[in-house]
Amino acid sequence: MRTKMSLTTKAGGLLARLMTLTLAATLAFSVSDVASAAQPLPKVPTTKIIAIGSLTPNATPEAVNAVLPQEVRETVKLNLAGKIEQWNVRTDRGGVVFVLNMTDVNQAREMFAKMPLDKAGLIKFDFIPVGPLAPLSLLLDQPSH
């Protein structure tokens, strides 16, 4: 009897969790369908740029170490000038991630093209413009007219 009861209890708990997940998924799809049908999301301004740098195949340890001291000095200058808000190292592979206090991707691209690692062909960057999370505006009350 004890084994049967514990299996029933486990099955009931699993069923309850499955029903909760199903309900949550259904609500998420319903809300997204209603939101997209009701009104388009507002355009948002670009407020930051994420720059993701990946080392190229030419980036041997010797080649990187040869320009790294100058790269660090130039990066510190950009940070102190307010262009770089955050700088992080990638933990999944060689490279860096910067959060830039810039709104123009072309200006960011030009800025990094002048950096020693980029000029030496040892790193390439992808630039992603980002802004405020537009769906949050759907949570605000609409003004009555």
pLDDT reading at 34 higher than 60: no
Q: What's the angle, vertex CA 113, arms to CA 111 and CA 118, rounded to 5?
A: 130
pLDDT over 70, % of the chain = 70
Say what the pTM is: 0.67
Q: Which fold, 48-130?
A: Alpha-Beta Plaits (3.30.70)
The residues with which 130 forms a beta bridge, in sequence order, are 48
Which one-letter DSSP state was computed for residue 58? T
Instruction: State the pLDDT confidence band at 93, using cuts at 50, 70 and 90.
Output: confident
The dihedral sign for the CA sequence 55, 61, 67, 73: positive
Instruction: Give the domain ranges of the chain.
Output: 1-41, 48-130
Q: What is the pLDDT of residues 101-145, one digit of tens each?
A: 999 999 999 999 999 999 999 999 999 999 998 877 777 766 665
Q: What is the pLDDT of residues 2-29, one digit of tens each?
A: 555 454 455 555 556 545 544 444 445 4
The tokens describing 9, both together, are 């209890």
Q: How far apart are CA 34 and CA 22, in angstroms?
A: 18
